[in-house]
Structure 1
């Protein structure tokens, strides 16, 4: 065999070996669509100009939870408890991610590729599988294709590796049951050094809509998401930075039945009204979201304070029993198609994080609400008006303490106090005993 060929192979193998060993340095991913560049990691290992760079990162989240009562419905705190259990060990997430980048001769990004798996005691799934192409003539645009994070709001895009609270708020999980979706995203963000608009980002994407909540697209409707945001801007005179954005989602679900339901006022009282018409078939039951978010942070590392807030309102289509965006077309236990229900909704969250002198210690306070049907309140919610548990408002108060033991291990002790409004719906006539205490650890590299 040719000696020069063997030498080239041995050099390449050695570089790959060094890459696999060295690339295990610390990485705290901030958003689910972060890329591995010099702003997020302290290494970018080049195999060669021809082969590009390859990096690995990962984390796992073993946790223990105690609920207020057996069988607590804690879907938005990491999953419901068994009928006869109120405590459990879980592996909430186990992620392994590979990032591959090809650079141009001037070291600007050309093409990027990400593959991420999630493994728990319940199985293994793909979480990210996307590619990104950078336009480098004007350095204004890039396009992302595949299974990636949807660019709506702030909380949806925060990675669970770097987020302080164990879970996203109820509103975020209901409106977009999973943060990722299959589609295409065009991003405008000037990338040259002195660009006046380099801190402005405009994302425009088209997606299937069901995300990872279902196995495949099940109708012809698509979600169009647009977001205009500003990266953190430092106000030196005040010692703080501020960032934020506005977002909208315009989508829906195709009716398969000549029946639909929506809220209507009769004699001054709101109720869920049936609409029967053959023309309803194939029409789109709307999903229309409008959101605004803002983030403040002080400039100091010790005793740093962060405040994040977001509000979303609009129209959401679900079923008679849930306002969650369906992952497949809804059917009953006999596989008979069910009609869609459309509701006006609103929700918000406020997260405050206080660093205690050292960045190793943080206090977390969070409040969020989700009102799936803003037309009715409290005792106005009854089965006689065609309403159900899907119309009940929830408020969640969370607080906790997070400690970083070293650059690769942290733990958070967090308590969720969950309040539902008092209604005439069965099981929601009083506040349910569904508070949850979570002790989560996280190992990461």
Structure 2
């Protein structure tokens, strides 16, 4: 499978139907422009204090909350030779920097653009797809785990032909690998690459199809003399003095597909994405919940690393109802952080597995109402499931479903 995905990346074009975050509000020449969106929501969890990928963990002893999920304010400017984008996110948790990059281009070679600063990693479909336009409340668990908060610091070279092959774009980025953190914990940099083709006028302009592949090649530095690798039934320790400061592979291979059909009943869209690879993580502990044990690191991990082979995917289906303001939503996503073990063997004595190796599946369904061009209301429920293990805290399915109502205003 991995060789197939790499072949697709190198030799086959793919299409996206995304509203990209790595762009100003418009490429038309303009002075300072201010845009953004606000998402305010109420959520009810199945039980209090759960670990959740639906807007973050719930506080201890609380199973409901009001919150500002996203409060984005974007400032951009476009002139003949450069673009600048600056975006912040203001919520009840404070103000965070989201985007800060400069793009350089020349009229002589309009196909090429250099982006430098803090931007979305150009991997796959959903990472670069703006949360202000996405129908579903959150990205799939697998992408929140691999690339939390989506951004990284670095430089990116993009190709977008507006004349000969206007459907073609390509991105290659060199990034720190530590996400939004300015403190990179090793000297090596990670490479992210993707190819994009876009065709919007098939079947009398009713059909839009996209497909493709992406690749991420990076490393995580080991801080100890021991790291763990899979042996088929769990993990085995690899202990050597020269393992200290060793860089362990962090490799992702992804493929995606999008289909949109404008029919007499209303627009139908189907989107899916698959990713697999190797993810350096840690063992879960009293201070680290199991689902976060395989998450990418913003700071140097101080404990022993676990090299996990993973895969994950999602299916998104939307159906506009009778060309009205209402759209029905149906989603299913899976993230398996350790494809080398069965759930009923996790936690067995001697195999070094923990709550960080448990597979999760999420079924989501709901409806949105576009009140007007700027205001959208969403009602959505997520049913999260996991198989039982031999671990005390994970012997059966956790009670971690989440119901969300959201109001979004975009300007």
Same fold (TM over 0.5): yes
Q: Distance in 2 between matches of 1:141 and 1:368?
A: 35
The alpha carbon displacement at 1:359 in A equals 5.1
Q: In structure 1, the residue corresponding to 2:376 is in which secondary structure? A: strand
Aligned to 1:14: none
1:415 to 377, 381, 397: 381
What TM-score, normalized to structure 1? 0.83
Q: Does 2:84 match 1:84?
A: no
Aligned to 2:341: 376
Aligned to 1:236: 203
Aligned to 1:199: 167
Q: Distance in 2 between matches of 1:271 and 1:79?
A: 29
Q: In structure 2, the residue corresponding to 1:156 is in which secondary structure? A: coil
Question: Quick check: 2:88–2:99 contact (8 Å CA) kept in 1?
Answer: yes
Aligned to 2:287: none
Q: Does 2:216 match 1:227?
A: no
Q: Kindly report which structure 2 residues correspond to 1:58-77, keeping only aligned pairs within 5 A, or say none.
A: 58-74=36-52, 76-77=53-54
Deviation readout 1:20-74 (Å, 9 max, x if unpaired): xxxxxxxxx9221233227xxxxx6x6xxxxx52211011111000000111221
Aligned to 1:358: 323
Question: Quick check: 1:64–1:439 contact (8 Å CA) kept in 2?
Answer: yes
Deviation readout 1:364-414 (Å, 9 max, x if unpaired): 100000000000112121242100011000000001100011222111000
Equivalenced residues, count: 385
Q: Distance in 2 between matches of 1:245 and 1:397?
A: 24
What TM-score, normalized to structure 2? 0.90
1:297 to 251, 260, 279: 260
Aligned to 2:15: none
Q: Kindly report which structure 2 residues correspond to 1:271-310, keeping only aligned pairs within 5 A, or say none.
A: 271-300=234-263, 303-310=266-273
Q: Distance in 1 between matches of 2:225 and 2:145?
A: 26
Question: Quick check: 2:321–2:327 contact (8 Å CA) kept in 1?
Answer: yes
Instruction: Give the number of the structure with larger relative contact order, counting CA–CA contacts within 8 Å between residues 6 or more apart.
Output: 2
Question: Quick check: 1:302–1:359 contact (8 Å CA) kept in 2?
Answer: no
The alpha carbon displacement at 1:81 in A equals 1.1
Deviation readout 1:101-140 (Å, 9 max, x if unpaired): 103xxxxxx2100001110111001100001011332322
Aligned to 1:94: 71
Aligned to 1:115: 86
Computing the radius of gyration from Cα coordinates, the structure with the larger value is: 1
Q: Distance in 1 between matches of 2:121 and 2:162?
A: 21
Q: Does 2:310 match 1:348?
A: no
Question: Quick check: 2:24–2:84 contact (8 Å CA) kept in 1?
Answer: no
Change (3 A) 1:284 1:359: farther
Aligned to 1:190: 161
Q: Distance in 2 between matches of 1:158 and 1:100?
A: 21
Aligned to 1:404: 370
The alpha carbon displacement at 1:237 in A equals 5.9
Q: In structure 2, the residue corresponding to 1:427 is in which secondary structure? A: helix
The alpha carbon displacement at 1:346 in A equals 0.4
Q: Which runs of 5+ in 2 are unaligned?
A: 1-17, 285-292
Q: Distance in 2 between matches of 1:158 and 1:238?
A: 23
Q: In structure 2, the residue corresponding to 1:171 is in which secondary structure? A: helix
Q: Distance in 2 between matches of 1:152 and 1:435?
A: 28
Question: Quick check: 1:301–1:359 contact (8 Å CA) kept in 2?
Answer: no
The alpha carbon displacement at 1:218 in A equals 1.5
Q: In structure 1, the residue corresponding to 2:143 is in which secondary structure? A: helix
Q: In structure 1, the residue corresponding to 2:198 is in which secondary structure? A: strand
4+ residue segments displaced more than 4 Å: none
Q: Distance in 2 between matches of 1:215 and 1:383?
A: 39
Q: Distance in 1 between matches of 2:205 and 2:325?
A: 25
The alpha carbon displacement at 1:301 in A equals 8.2
